[in-house]
Amino acid sequence: MKRPLGVSLISSFYIFGAVVLIYTAVFFNPDEFGIADRFGLPNFPEHPFRIILAVVSLIIIYGYIRLKRWGFWLMILYSFGFGLLSFILLRSSNQQPFTGNFIWSVIVLIYTFYVRKSFFHVDKNF
């Protein structure tokens, strides 16, 4: 089955985000913006957390872009979890990045459900 354009675009954005996470883990001071702390893990080292998050994102994206069922479900879980976290942080700090992250997560969830048949397509050529 042909991959929907939106799946390719969403995957591209997430790949870019994973590359940025790895880049910031190597070249930036983690005290400026702690992602681990935002995920509720203040005692977890920032550099490894960014790399772990990037690797997990890339694994999810691989399944998503290849239209795998597990990629669909992991993207749903990831988007829901990240959206919920962004919503909680938005309510507590009212900062624009959290608003954007929350809206993006909602868009990804809605679109992923909209094209769900692409992930559950059964090839009848076997």
59-87: pLDDT as tens digits: 999 999 999 999 999 999 999 998 998 88
Tens of pLDDT, residues 36-46: 767 766 777 88
Mean pLDDT (the chain, rounded)? 86
pLDDT at residue 47, rounded to an integer = 82
The residue among 69, 63, 101, 61 whose CA lies nearest residue 82 is 101
- Locate the domains of the chain by residue range: 5-28+38-116
The residue among 49, 48, 54, 57 whose CA lies nearest residue 10 is 57
